Amino acid sequence: KVAPYGVYDIAGNEGFINLGISSDTARFAVNSVRQWWYEMGMARYPAASKLYTADGGMSNGSRHGR
Residue 32, in any domain of the structure: yes
Range of the domain at 36: 3-57
Q: What is the DSSP code string of 12-42?
A: TTEEEEEEESS-S-HHHHHHHHHHHIIIIIH
pTM: 0.70
In the chain, how many domains are there?
1
pLDDT tens sequence across 9-56: 888 899 999 998 876 678 888 888 999 999 999 999 999 998 887 766
Residue 62: the pLDDT is 54
